[in-house]
Amino acid sequence: MEKTFDFSNAHKDLIARDAERVLGWRYAPGIVFESGRGVLLSDVDGNDYYDLTAGMMCLALGHSHPELTKVMREQAGRFVHESSWYSNPHLIAFAELIASTLPAGLDVVNFTVTGSEANEVAMRMALAATGRHDIVSVIRGLHGGSLAVEAVTTIGGARRRNLGPLMAPANAPAIYAPFCYRCPINLAYPACDVACLEASVELIDHVSSGEAAAVMAETMLVAGGMVVPPAAWLPRLKRLAHQLGAFLVLDEAQLAPARTGKLWAFEHYDTPPDILTFAKGMSAGLAICGMVTSREIAEAARGKAGTPWAGTYSGDPLPAAVALKQLEIVLRDKLAARAELLGAHLRARLEALCQAYEPLGEARGVGLYQMLDVVADKASRRPDLAMAERIRYNAALEGVILICVKNFLRICPALIVTEAEIDDFCGRLEVAIKRALDGYPKEVDFRASSSLALGEDTAAE
């Protein structure tokens, strides 16, 4: 029997008013949330849901963490905003703490408000310090939605449509993603010896000016399909960047702090970048992001290409105080080790689901950032976007909120999640998968939500 959301009239009214006046991206059925605690969210009717997106991948400590709430209250009574041409003690301490977690050469922090802005500042730094203009990026990467970073975002779909000349022309998405599940050059790791990178060298030569300022990559490509590079790839990418005379820029918006089992994901590869960007998880959800580089690069860039950057809200005292406290807790409570441990448990549960259900092609990811690759069948590995949406919708009915982009269902709970909570939401996810396989929901038009609204291939439907 069709299971439906049992929303109150007041809730339905809010959903209708939201649709009427707020121009936003909405997943069906547009649940209106009112509060959150830990890994749980509550809607306006008081129904609880597991928040497996940790907000927008920002809440390392979950919702309403008491220590962060205390800092917020205290700081709100002092001052929340100031001119970004001045500093405050929280911002200084946050920059110092970030630098203390990084190797020498990643010494100075330029703060921004969004991850897109952080990546644009990284691009400005690279252009200013090298005097070159090309940004060479990895196909399947996502670096944000403002215009310069949209030009180095290549996850497909309609997001670049109609932008025409607004897309920055000086970019070359020319590096194959090391996507072993669907290898772009049809080889198999490790026998391939990451031949995708060798193939990319020729591509770069063909499509760039040959004068790259930066090679830009997510340390693990999340939105493009949770591509976790094999061990050899990142060190070789860095070598390639330097051979090109370019800086390696790594974007850790989705990964830091601690989600992958290391504070910074590049630690898995022992490959620190020349320029590093952080956002989402480092912000504690309060919009403080930034870029880290060496004093030398920062000074070479100073006064050129708008660096150092100082937007209206960058480095405000309220977000700085909260993000500082969050990072202190992540370090104090050893949440990287916890993410590794509980990530292994989560992964085992997801792999068991993959074994049991044909449309779950593979579970991929590291630590507490995992993803299910939803396919028409295991043999063809053909992406099944509609089935992924169906599972996401049924999961919401079972009290589990997931993010679904294309055929990729992401699972990234706050790092404070417990083993019992993982078991509970995986059980609910299994119910959702079974209902999706039975063809439910039958009366919801998925074209109104997620990737399907963008008119993409709906694979198995």
Ligand X SMILES: Cc1ncc(COP(=O)(O)O)c(C=O)c1O
Nearest distance from C-beta of residue 150 to ligand X, angstroms: 10
* 219 touching ligand X, by CB under 6 A: no
Residue whose C-alpha is closest to residue 260's, from 189, 179, 325, 341: 341
Nearest distance from C-beta of residue 267 to ligand X, angstroms: 17
Using CB under 6 A as the binding criterion, the count of chain residues that bind ligand X stands at 14
Nearest distance from C-beta of residue 146 to ligand X, angstroms: 7
Single out the residue of 55, 115, 156, 224 in contact with ligand X (rule: CB under 6 A): 115
* 394 touching ligand X, by CB under 6 A: no
* 251 touching ligand X, by CB under 6 A: yes
* 144 touching ligand X, by CB under 6 A: yes
From CA 369, how far away is CA 219, in angstroms rounded? 13
* Cβ nearer to ligand X, comparing 14 with 223: 223
What own/partner pairs with CB < 8 Å and gap ≥ 24 does 432-439 have?
432/391, 432/394, 432/395, 432/397, 432/398, 432/400, 433/353, 433/357, 433/359, 433/360, 433/391, 433/394, 435/3, 435/394, 435/397, 436/359, 436/387, 436/390, 436/391, 436/393, 436/394, 437/357, 437/359
* 288 touching ligand X, by CB under 6 A: no
Report which residue's Cβ sits closest to ligand X.
115
Nearest distance from C-beta of residue 118 to ligand X, angstroms: 7
* 112 touching ligand X, by CB under 6 A: no
Around Cβ 340, how many Cβ atoms within 10 Å? 17
Q: Among residue numbers 19 through 78, which ones bind ligand X (CB under 6 A)?
A: none
Query: What does the CA dihedral 302, 263, 409, 342 come to, rounded to 10 degrees?
Result: -170
From CA 221, how far away is CA 225, in angstroms rounded? 7
Stretch binding ligand X (CB under 6 A), from 250-258, 267-275, 306-314, 329-337: 250-258
Single out the residue of 39, 279, 301, 346 in contact with ligand X (rule: CB under 6 A): 279
- Name residues whose C-beta falls within 8 Å of residue 344's C-beta, 6 or more positions apart in sequence: none
* 154 touching ligand X, by CB under 6 A: no
Stretch binding ligand X (CB under 6 A), from 138-146, 228-236, 403-411, 435-443: 138-146
CB 87 within 8 A of CB 96: no
Single out the residue of 223, 276, 339, 374 in contact with ligand X (rule: CB under 6 A): 223
Instruction: Name residue 383's beta-bridge partners.
Output: 375
Single out the residue of 53, 110, 114, 449 in contact with ligand X (rule: CB under 6 A): 114
Nearest distance from C-beta of residue 27 to ligand X, angstroms: 15
Question: What ranges make up the beta strands (E) of 220-326?
Answer: 247-251, 275-278, 289-293
Stretch binding ligand X (CB under 6 A), from 216-224, 335-343, 415-423, 439-447: 216-224
* 366 touching ligand X, by CB under 6 A: no
CB 33 within 8 A of CB 43: yes
DSSP for 235-252, written as a single string: HHHHHHHHHTT-EEEEE-
Chain residues that interact with ligand X, rule: CB under 6 A: 114-116, 119, 142-144, 218, 222-223, 251, 253-254, 279
